[in-house]
């Protein structure tokens, strides 16, 4: 198995060199829930061995039976095997599920002390609750393996008696694995193990002593870390690159036996790296170039966003290299942080693709290094099939976007007989613009005519609206804002553009982005700042356009409701708690009315301004909001939905339509309105009214799980689809 190591960012290099003079404590709260105990070891293989040691003391038995999936890394089991514990396997099917009834019978027969259940490739294991019940009924401890999970997102880490995280596998760090003991696990261990487990500060010494008693050989952490640092430095300055053997047979097991293991303790370089990724970070962008506030996040959360971007880059390349025969296995990167980019196909197609990737010098790997027992036992055919029919590509920082883009363009160019000719023209016709937005199916507020005019009138931007044509038809439209800085430099800002029309293929999209990249020219003192309307799924065109330089991975996130679904289907899609609040509001006799009257908007403005002052949050610019209302109202695209109770306004929301989409822009809610769940009723009634008007989508106006988690959770209660754009870029 080819292993690939991420290279540190410039910020991390600075932290590494600064960090040797400080001794700050590592904060494990990112991975630890309330009431849990967590500690740090070098690798999860030592975490498993330590848990087995604790179980042996708990049972007063020298050898412990561990039951693991047969689709599992052998390297993670080496210390446990060397300590003399017994490893048995249960079968994993080709869809990574298990036969629960069969597992239940197996547990009854062998009575394991420990059962390991992984979340493969950072995807939630839907069977873990059933397996937790099986382990509890058989007196086993459940080890929840989250080694592929960068963060405890979704329900990761909520099921096991013990939880394993391995952040060193996803961030640039020579080591760093987190072991969590959960008092709320299925076995309710709580204080039962206090005399055995002791404090987390003793865990490394405990397992080191047990390993030494068993005469297990491991090297010095300082040597491992120094070699890691030297290799990363060589990579940074271009003096070293991991050799890639094009003749490797990736369908077999390629791992060599390890005679000396990585030590259990965590070295100074690893500690600095972990500290760097758990600190707060801010993406700093010149204020003149941005439209929205860029929120705070920890560095590791920014890394999660960056990894999601890279998946889309690989997807496009794999699609063209395999002629669409090898398919991606990740369908959603908005709610999880991918471990690797995963692909599946026939053994023949995978083998052919591997050869092509190696020919282009691109990194590729198979997974896992299966335990040798799996190759000799007949019942593990599915694990062998999985090993041979899937390939994986890394997502770490060492992946060069330009290298992948060059390969993609070379493959596409070789497959095309004629180059694609893309032209453009400017338009000042509002009706033409609105008609084109409808052809785009889903559109966004920042590319609407009303928004552009508001930015012109309130903030003094110049506005250009351009339509792109390829293969004889319109394929995209783009509204850009222009401004002079210091009377010299010209800044061109594109927010959530270009908007691609239905039917535009990938080559047309890339061609349009190439034309837009030409807006920025340093020798003409022109700088283009763009937050493109490209999503991490299913499209990620802009990472394949090397003319853009990524400035920030923090894109726009929101939730879309599909208004083409009938009312009953949309009502069923509501989350249980959200639906109950809606029903309560309906029963309380709250009335919702739709208004397009200016007097109502003036009243809304006043109430919204009072709410901003009361709650002390950064709201919309009132002058900009009023200008958007006025311009949208000219074409009946501005809507106020007002909730009344006992003839008094208790809450209201402001919605703008553009093309076939509507966007929630702002809202206010009084004390009575909150008590009566007026916001639930307002959003529900708004979605019904917008659907009746023939609109296809309702954008709920943005979510930010870091800054405003409660608002994000509330909007998610409507059961829509989450999207995430690819971030901020510049061209000059």
DSSP code string of 15-54: HHHHHTT--PPP--TTT--TT-EEEEES-HHHHHHHHHHH
Half-sphere exposure of 113 (CA within 13 A, CB side): 21
Residue 4: predicted pLDDT: 44
Q: How far apart are CA 477 and CA 424, in angstroms?
A: 9
Q: Where are the alpha helices (DSSP H) in 616-677?
A: 622-633, 671-675
Please report the pLDDT score of residue 249 as a whole number.
47
C-alpha angle 313-317-323 in degrees, rounded to nearest 5: 145
6 has pLDDT over 90: no
- Average pLDDT of the segment spanning 462-466: 97
What mean pLDDT value characterizes the chain?
Answer: 86
Does position 332 have pLDDT exceeding 80, yes or no?
no
At residue 25 the predicted structure's pLDDT band, cuts being 50, 70 and 90, is low
What percent of the chain clears pLDDT 90, i.e. is strictly above it? 57
Which of these, 491, 482, 478, lies nearest to 524 by C-alpha position? 491
Q: For residue 703, name the pLDDT band (cuts at 50, 70, 90).
A: confident
Q: Which residue has the higher pLDDT, 535 or 451?
A: 451
Alpha-carbon distances of 714 from 654, 683, 702, rounded to whole Å: 17, 11, 12
**What tokens does 450 get?**
């009303």
Look at residue 291 and tell me whether its pLDDT is greater than 90. Answer: no
Strands (E), 430-566: 462-470, 473-485, 489-495, 499-500, 526-531, 549-552, 557-562
Both tokens assigned to 77 = 């089991």
The pLDDT, as a whole number, for residue 333 is: 65
Q: What residues contact 93, with CB distance under 8 A and at least 6 apart? A: 99, 382
What's the pLDDT score for residue 574?
96
- Both tokens of 667, joined, read 């809202």
Both tokens assigned to 79: 């210390």
pLDDT class of 562 with cuts at 50, 70, 90: very high
30 pLDDT higher than 80: no
Mean pLDDT, rounded, for 389-400: 84
Residue 704 — pLDDT band, cuts 50, 70, 90?
A: confident
Edge to edge, the sheet with strand 638-645 lists 591-595, 638-645, 648-658, 661-669, 697-699, 557-562, 721-724
Provide the pLDDT for residue 245. Answer: 47
Q: Please tell me the number of Cα atoms within 13 Å of 393 on its side-chain side.
A: 29
Coil, strand or helix: which one is 367?
A: coil
- From 96-100, 216-220, 274-278, 655-659, the region with the lowest mean pLDDT: 274-278
pLDDT at residue 250 above 50? no
pLDDT at 67: 97
Inform me whether the pLDDT recorded for 721 exceeds 70.
yes
Query: Which pLDDT value is given to residue 648?
Result: 94
553 closest CA partner among 314, 339, 301: 301
Task: Give dist(CA 636, CA 345) in Å, integer.
Answer: 51
- Residue 1 above 90 pLDDT? no
Per-residue pLDDT at 295 exceeds 60: no
Q: Residues 6 or more apart from 357 whose CB is under 8 A from it?
A: 321, 364, 391, 393
Lowest mean pLDDT among 131-140, 149-158, 597-606: 149-158
Task: List pLDDT tens digits, range 476-531.
Answer: 999 999 998 887 889 999 999 999 999 888 788 888 988 999 999 888 889 999 99
Q: What angle do CA 570, 576, 579 make, to 5 degrees?
A: 60
Main-chain phi, psi angles of 88, to 5 degrees: -125, 160
pLDDT tens digits along 158-217: 999 999 999 999 888 899 999 999 988 999 988 888 889 999 999 999 999 999 999 999
| pLDDT over threshold 80, residue 447 | yes
Q: Which domains does the chain have, with CATH numbers?
A: 26-234 (3.40.640.10), 278-402 (3.90.1150.10), 417-553 (3.40.630.30), 558-724 (3.40.630.30)
Q: What is the pLDDT of residue 26?
A: 66
pLDDT given at position 538 = 46
**Strand residue runs (E) in 604-702:** 638-645, 648-658, 661-669, 697-699
pLDDT tier at 544, thresholds 50, 70, 90: low
């Amino acid at each position: 198995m080819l292993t690939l190591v991420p290279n540190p960012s410039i910020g991390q290099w600075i932290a590494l060199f600064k960090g040797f003079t400080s001794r700050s404590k590592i904060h494990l709260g990112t991975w630890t829930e309330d009431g849990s105990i967590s500690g740090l070891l070098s690798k999860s293989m030592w975490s498993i061995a330590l848990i087995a040691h604790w179980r042996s003391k708990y049972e007063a038995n020298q050898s412990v039976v561990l039951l693991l999936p047969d689709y599992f890394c052998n390297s993670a089991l080496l210390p446990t095997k060397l300590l003399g514990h017994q490893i048995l396997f249960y079968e994993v099917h080709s869809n990574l599920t298990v036969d629960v009834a069969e597992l239940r019978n197996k547990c009854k027969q062998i009575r394991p002390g420990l059962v390991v259940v992984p979340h493969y490739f950072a995807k939630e294991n839907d069977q873990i609750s059933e397996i937790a019940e099986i382990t509890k009924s058989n007196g086993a401890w459940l080890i929840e393996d989250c080694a592929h999970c960068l963060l405890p997102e979704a329900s990761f880490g909520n099921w096991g008696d013990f939880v394993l995280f391995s952040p060193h596998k996803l961030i640039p760090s020579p080591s760093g694995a987190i072991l969590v003991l959960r008092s709320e696990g299925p076995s309710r261990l709580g204080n039962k193990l206090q005399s055995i487990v002791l404090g987390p500060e003793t865990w490394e010494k405990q397992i080191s002593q047990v390993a030494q008693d068993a005469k297990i050989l491991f090297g010095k952490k300082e040597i491992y870390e120094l070699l890691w640092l030297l290799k990363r430095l060589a990579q940074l300055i271009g003096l070293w690159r991991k050799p890639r053997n094009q003749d490797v047979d990736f369908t077999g097991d390629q791992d060599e036996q390890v005679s000396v293991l990585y030590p259990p303790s965590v070295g100074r370089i690893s500690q600095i790296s972990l500290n760097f990724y758990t600190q707060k970070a801010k993406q700093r962008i010149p204020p003149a170039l941005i439209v929205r506030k860029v929120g705070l996040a920890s560095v590791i959360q920014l890394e999660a966003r960056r990894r999601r971007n890279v998946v889309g880059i690989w997807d496009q390349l794999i699609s063209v290299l395999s002629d669409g025969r090898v398919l991606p296995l990740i369908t959603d990167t908005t709610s999880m942080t991918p471990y690797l980019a995963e692909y599946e196909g026939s053994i023949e197609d995978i083998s052919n693709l591997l050869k092509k990737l190696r020919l282009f010098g691109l990194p590729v790997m198979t997974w896992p290094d299966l335990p040798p027992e799996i190759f000799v036992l007949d019942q593990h055919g599915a694990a062998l099939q999985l090993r041979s029919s899937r390939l994986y590509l890394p997502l770490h920082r060492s992946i060069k976007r330009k290298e992948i883009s060059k390969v993609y363009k070379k493959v596409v160019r070789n497959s095309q007989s004629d180059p694609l000719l893309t032209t453009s023209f400017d338009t000042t016709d509002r009706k033409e613009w609105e008609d084109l937005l409808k052809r785009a199916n889903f559109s966004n507020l920042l590319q609407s005519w009303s928004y552009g005019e508001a930015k012109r009138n309130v903030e003094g931007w110049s506005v250009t609206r351009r339509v792109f044509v390829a293969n004889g038809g319109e394929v995209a439209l783009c509204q850009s804002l222009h401004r002079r800085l210091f009377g010299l430099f010209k800044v061109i800002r594109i927010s959530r553009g270009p908007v691609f029309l239905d039917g535009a293929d990938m080559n047309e999209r890339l061609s349009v982005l190439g034309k837009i990249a030409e807006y920025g020219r340093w020798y003409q003192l022109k700088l283009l700042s763009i937050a493109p309307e490209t999503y991490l799924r299913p499209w990620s065109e802009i990472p394949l356009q090397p003319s853009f330089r990524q400035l920030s991975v923090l894109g726009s996130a929101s939730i879309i409701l599909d208004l083409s679904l009938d009312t009953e289907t949309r009502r069923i899609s509501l989350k249980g708690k959200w639906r109950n609040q809606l029903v309560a509001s309906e029963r309380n006799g709250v009335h919702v009315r739709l208004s397009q009257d200016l007097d109502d908007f003036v009243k809304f403005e006043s109430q919204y301004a009072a709410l901003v002052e009361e709650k002390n949050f950064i709201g919309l610019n009132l002058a900009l909001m009023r200008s958007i209302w006025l311009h949208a109202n000219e074409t009946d695209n501005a809507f106020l939905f007002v909730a009344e109770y006992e003839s008094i306004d208790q809450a209201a929301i402001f919605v703008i339509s553009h093309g076939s989409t509507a966007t929630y822009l702002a809202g206010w809610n009084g004390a009575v309105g909150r008590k009566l769940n007026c916001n639930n009723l307002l959003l529900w009634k708004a979605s019904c009214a917008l659907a009746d008007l023939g609109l296809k989508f309702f954008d709920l106006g943005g979510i930010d799980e870091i800054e405003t988690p409660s608002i994000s959770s509330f909007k998610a209660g409507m059961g829509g689809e989450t999207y995430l754009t690819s971030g901020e870029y510049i061209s000059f």
